A = this chain, B = another copy of it.
Amino acid sequence: SSDSAPIRATLFPGDGIGPEIAESVKQVFKGAEVPIEWEEHYVGDQIDPRTQSFLTWESLESVRRNGVGLKGPMATPIGKGHRSLNLTLRKELNLYANVRPCYSLSGYKTRYDDVNLITIRENTEGEYSGLEHQVVRGVVESLKIITRQASLRVAEYAFHYAKTHGRERVSAIHKANIMQKTDGLFLKCCREVAEKYPEITYKEVVIDNCCMMLVKNPALFDVLVMPNLYGDIISDLCAGLIGGLGLTPSCNIGEGGIALAEAVHGSAPDIAGKNLANPTALLLSAVTMLRHLNLHDKADRIQNAILNTIAEGKYRTADLGGSSTTTDFTRAICDHL
């Protein structure tokens, strides 16, 4: 396969520890002979008028052209008058679904050893509409928007994902007992899609009850699909069950088949440049990108090397209680390939 033309993918190393963990991905991909050529793009240091943000027009064009990308943590510069970089990416690239697989890692013990969840979050609307205003002094309101189009789209993605990934159950998470119209519409769309997938067991779970059940017994769930804010909350809760955002991959799916994988943890400026960062979340995100490209052999090979290195426990970065450097941990993964 190294003879055929390489696949081009956009790489945003990002800020803080971003460049170090991106380097780790490049090393591991080289070790596994993944036929990918990276197009690297950095966040600009001034607002690009065409994106109204620090993201350059060229970088967005690169993702659109390549259809796949990988993104490290981006710290939105402080100050007013420009949008969060993460939100800008979601909006500009119409990244409508955020997919986060979350499974217990043998070798990194938490209170849970039976987590195997996929959260699928609607990523474009809901509480993230940005529509807010002051009604009178001391009274403000935010609008939560739910549309049939976006709800059907994410529901369709979730059921299709379940079917093509050997998953048996999809739970729609909601608060339709309170928000009957908005969350009610979301549920209605999920039900419509569920009917097309009779082989998948479909359930509806109220978000408060869902959180209680997740911490009691995460094995009750399989694939979870939900509106934007609930997805934000529940995907982080699930990450907490297995150790945190440093260990969980994430992939954003856009219209036209775009996939932008990303590490959702922060840029950790305190340890940036010190060769201390844990590249696991970015590496596992890169694996989801490979799966999106149907490079399952490469994906399996890299994923197993990562999981086996962590399970072996000889090389561990400080966040997991070890003292390995990023480069040593990366080398250990390459040795496990």
Contact = CB atoms under 8 A, between A and B. Distances in A.
Closest 5 A/B residue pairs (Cβ): A138-B148, A212-B240, A215-B240, A208-B236, A132-B181
Contacts of A184: 140
Interface of A: 84, 110-112, 127-128, 132-135, 137-149, 175, 177-182, 184-185, 207-209, 211-216, 229, 232-237, 239-241, 243-245
Contacts of A211: 211, 233-234, 236-237, 240
A184 B178 CA distance: 23
A175 B229 contact: yes
A78 B40 CA distance: 57
A174 to B, nearest CB: 12
Nearest to A137: B148
A128 B177 CA distance: 10
A109 to B, nearest CB: 12
B245 A212 contact: yes
Contacts of A215: 111, 215, 237, 240-241
A140 B237 contact: no
A140 B233 contact: no
Contacts of A182: 132, 140-142
Contacts of A232: 175, 207-208
A178 to B, nearest CB: 6
Nearest to A237: B211
Which interface residue of A127, A134, A135 has the most chain B CB atoms within 10 A?
A: A127
A137 B146 CA distance: 11
Given A208-B232, A212-B239, A212-B245, 16 more contacts: A110-B216, A127-B175, A132-B181, A138-B148, A138-B149, A138-B185, A139-B147, A140-B146, A143-B144, A175-B232, A208-B233, A211-B211, A211-B234, A212-B244, A216-B243, A237-B237
